[in-house]
Amino acid sequence: MADEKLLTVRDVSMLLNISEKEVLNLAETRAIPAYKIGGMYLRFKKEQVLQYKKTFHHTLPKAHNHKDYSLTDKISDFFYFNDFYVLSAILIILLVVVIFQGL
């Protein structure tokens, strides 16, 4: 039990063949038991995910083909999952500009 590797949102999405947002929705509605690590990182037990898949495999939404996503959907997803990094990069660039303008 101590060596049990918990699955990430991406692992579960690939295992169930659904999008990461749909995995988050399933965890939010408690359809799949999820565990928070460090207060914010969702992890899943593989046995519970497989049990969910076995029980509800006929009701699982199918993963969307990447061709079905519009450009705005792709940009929205990018900022949804990478907002911290984008904001950090902007802040660093602004600080570098301020530092070099002071010289």
Domain co-membership, 55 together with 36: yes
Domain co-membership, 56 together with 70: no
Domain extent at residue 99: 66-103
Domain co-membership, 12 together with 54: yes
Domain co-membership, 5 together with 42: yes
pLDDT band at 20 (very low <50, low <70, confident <90, very high): confident
Which helix (H) or strand (E) segment is 42 a member of?
strand 41-43
Handedness of CA 23, 26, 32, 34 (dihedral sign): positive
Q: For 31-79, what is each residue's pLDDT tens digit?
A: 888 988 887 778 999 999 989 888 876 555 555 555 677 888 888 888 8
Domain co-membership, 101 together with 58: no
Mean pLDDT of all residues belonging to the chain: 83
